[in-house]
Amino acid sequence: MPATILDGKATAAAIRAELTDRVAALTATGHRPGLGTLLVGDDPGSRWYVNAKHSDCAQVGIASIQRELPATATLSDVLEVVDELNADPACTGYIVQLPLPRGIEASVVLERMDPAKDADGLHPVNLGRLVLNVPGALPCTPVGIVELLRRYDVPIAGAEVVVVGRGITVGRPLGLLLTRRSENATVTLCHTGTRDLAAHLRTADIVVAAAGVPGLVGRDLVKPGAAVLDVGVSRVDGKIAGDVAKDVVEVAGFVAPNPGGVGPMTRAMLLQNVVLAAEQAAAVDVLTA
Ligand SMILES: Nc1nc(=O)c2c([nH]1)NC[C@@H]1CN(c3ccc(C(=O)N[C@@H](CCC(=O)O)C(=O)O)cc3)C=[N+]21
């Protein structure tokens, strides 16, 4: 029996529908959420992602604030826009699209953001809160992965999870999220220095491939019935290629394909972060009125 497809596109659409009512309630009390984006440079892929995020916002009633700078922008140009978004009351949450052009240090830019407006959950304060397991904005892709597994009833508690890739947006925070008591998975974080990746993969109940190496996870490396989520993004002949070989569906129990799996969930969790931040800001307003 081929794997059940973890359909991120359909799941994200369901989540957007759920968020629409919450956005309407906020808007009715004068707290309409607004997502800001800052795009630096003209990479067509980055532009596509940013445009997709704004069309998602339009669908659920979140206002859009779109800022752009040329690839020649300096760090101080970027910080100036960050300061403006921090100060703009219509912008309840925002993201700085990554990667930034060479020479502009992402960590310096992220550090300048107001953590209360950090829609990506990538501000050092929010990543610190994740480590400490106290409330804060959570990174969109890791939360999207957990949400996708939950909605398909893939067991997480007690599962052996192998994450391939230790990046700051996916692998490392995902390990932190899945090992919380509320998720209770056992996580092995593999990377380019892992001695025997195949041996780790073969034991996994859940595989999250976020290495950016096309075809890295082949069917011979997957335990029958395992859940395999493809988060790899590479471009091969102009098309998006994931880390997971197509024939993995023949042995896996669940497959989140790429495209159509985790990507749309990332965008849905971004909207969720914006709505949560706006709800928190509205609650503070009530308390201080
Ligand atoms: N500050 C920041 N936050 C991010 O969250 C962020 C970022 N920078 N830089 C780039 C990565 C990548 N990322 C994706 C979002 C959506 C899809 C997505 O929706 N993909 C669709 C369509 C893919 C296609 O057809 O091109 C899919 O997988 O079905 C993919 C990838 C967010 N990122």
Q: Whose CA is nearest to atom 7 of ligand 1?
A: 98
The CA distance from 210 to 229, in Å, is 9
Locate all alpha helices (DSSP H) within the chain, ordered by sequence: 8-28, 44-60, 75-87, 106-112, 124-132, 140-151, 171-178, 197-203, 262-288
166 carries a ligand binding annotation:
yes
Instruction: Check: CB of residue 162 under 8 Å from CB of residue 206.
Output: yes
Tell me the CA–centroid distance for residue 285 and ligand 1, in Å: 33
233 carries a ligand binding annotation:
yes
Domain with CATH 3.40.50.10860 in the chain: 28-119
Q: What is the mean pLDDT of residues 196-215?
A: 97
Q: Model confidence over 222-272: pLDDT tens digits?
A: 999 999 999 998 888 888 899 999 999 999 999 999 999 999 999 999 999
Q: Ligand 1: does its nearest atom lie under 6 Å from the Cβ of 257?
A: no
Tell me the CA–centroid distance for residue 49 and ligand 1, in Å: 5
Per-residue pLDDT band at 109 (split at 50, 70, 90):
very high
pLDDT attached to residue 287: 80
Q: Ligand 1: does its nearest atom lie under 6 Å from the Cβ of 121?
A: no
Helix (H) or strand (E) holding 36: strand 34-40
The CA distance from 175 to 4, in Å, is 24
Helix and strand totals (H; E) in the chain: 9, 11
Architecture of domain 140-264: 3-Layer(aba) Sandwich (3.40)
Beta-bridge mates of residue 69: 40
Out of 7, 56, 118, 120, the active site residue is 120
pLDDT attached to residue 249: 98
Out of 7, 56, 97, 230, the active site residue is 97
Instruction: Tell which atom from ligand 1 comes closest to the C-alpha of 122.
Output: 1
Architecture of domain 28-119: 3-Layer(aba) Sandwich (3.40)
Q: What is the mean pLDDT of residues 150-169?
A: 97
Q: Ligand 1: does its nearest atom lie under 6 Å from the Cβ of 273?
A: no
Q: Ligand 1: does its nearest atom lie under 6 Å from the Cβ of 263?
A: yes
What is the rounded average pLDDT for all residues in the chain? 96
CA angle (208, 212, 215) in 5-degree steps:
80
Q: What is the mean pLDDT of residues 274-279?
A: 96
Tell me the CA–centroid distance for residue 264 and ligand 1, in Å: 7
Q: Model confidence over 19-38: pLDDT tens digits?
A: 999 999 999 999 999 999 99
Q: What is the mean pLDDT of residues 38-62?
A: 97
Tell me the CA–centroid distance for residue 271 and ligand 1, in Å: 13
Domain with CATH 3.40.50.720 in the chain: 140-264
Q: Model confidence over 71-92: pLDDT tens digits?
A: 999 999 999 999 999 999 999 9
Q: Whose CA is nearest to atom 16 of ligand 1?
A: 263
pLDDT attached to residue 286: 78
Cβ-based neighbours of 73, under 8 Å, separated by 6 or more: 40, 41, 101, 104
Q: Residue 197, class by beta-carbon neighbours within 10 Å (0-12 exposed, 13-18 middle, 19+ buried)? A: middle
pLDDT attached to residue 51: 98
**Whether pLDDT at 288 is above 90:** no
Beta-bridge mates of residue 186: 160
Residue among 72, 74, 208, 218 at smallest CA distance from 148: 208
| Length of the chain measured in residues | 289
Q: What is the mean pLDDT of residues 199-224?
A: 97
> Among this protein's residues, is 120 annotated catalytic?
yes
Instruction: Check: CB of residue 170 under 8 Å from CB of residue 141.
Output: yes
**Whether pLDDT at 137 is above 80:** yes
**Whether pLDDT at 14 is above 90:** yes
Dihedral sign of CA atoms 129, 26, 11, 141 in order: negative
Cβ-based neighbours of 147, under 8 Å, separated by 6 or more: 11, 15, 265, 268, 269
> Among this protein's residues, is 117 annotated catalytic?
no
pLDDT attached to residue 236: 86
Expressed in angstroms, the distance from the first to the final Cα of the chain is: 59
Per-residue pLDDT band at 217 (split at 50, 70, 90):
very high
What ipTM does the predicted assembly reach?
Answer: 0.96
The CA distance from 228 to 112, in Å, is 36
